[in-house]
Amino acid sequence: MNWQEAVEKTVAGLGYDLVDCERSPAGLLRVYIDKLPEEALAGALINVEDCERVTRQLQYLLEVENCAYERLEVSSPGLDRPLKKAFDYQRFVGEEIEITLRMPFQGRKRYRGLLSALDVAAAAVEPVAPAAPAEVAPAPAWRVVFNDGKADQALDFSLEEVREARLVPVVNFKGRGAKPADGKKPSKAKAAKTDDKVDGGPDQ
């Protein structure tokens, strides 16, 4: 088990959703956590105590796994939360997102618009008669609706076609208007600091 898998297992075991984790060449480990979907949609927010709890457990884990690092930051994902898993996309249907494609489509890679889900069965391509084995591109499961300056356009895509996707930050003190209507989206939790250069990450 590598360190990413160990981090994911630990965060999940503590009852949180691991949004992302990254390691810089300088030895900085960044771990972004969120409440589990059912809690987050009910309005629960990540706070400093959550970050401190995860930080303490990860300190122990990384020592046991003999993972060298200089500093550990644990924080909430912030207003521009990355979308990594299919469930992330499902959770934020109806929100404005920005996606960057792996390959350009109609001369561009970056699109910004409202996210919606497609009926995968309806979007599936008609099967081809059996022949030489060939890779079949995944059927589009998601759509982003954007305005090109003239009219609304729709881009259908699969997760395999996406290099990066993030929520577009919404500055609203009542929280992000996600589903259900009372859903809230937190800004990054403040740092959860310890004495050995481990913290909960800076506000961004």
Give the model confidence (pLDDT) of 75-129 as tens digits.
999 999 999 989 899 989 999 999 999 999 989 999 999 999 996 544 433 444 4
Is residue 187 a contact partner of residue 76, using CB atoms and an 8 Å limit?
yes
194 and 155 within one domain: no
Q: How many domains does the chain have?
A: 2
Q: Which domain holds residue 42?
A: 3-79+178-199
Cα 51 to chain centroid, rounded: 17
Geometric angle at alpha carbon 47, from 45 and 51, rounded to 5°: 125
For residue 194, pLDDT over 60 is answered with no
Query: Quick one: which of 22, 47, 25 has its CA closest to 34?
Result: 47
Query: Please, which pLDDT band fits residue 185 given cuts at 50, 70 and 90?
Result: very low
Instruction: Give the pLDDT confidence score for residue 102 in this predicted structure.
Output: 96
Residue 204 belongs to some domain of the structure: no
Does the pTM exceed 0.85?
A: no
Residue 173 belongs to some domain of the structure: no
70 and 8 within one domain: yes
94 and 75 within one domain: no
Cα 179 to chain centroid, rounded: 17
Helix, strand, or coil here: 7? helix
Is residue 28 a contact partner of residue 71, using CB atoms and an 8 Å limit?
yes
129 and 91 within one domain: yes
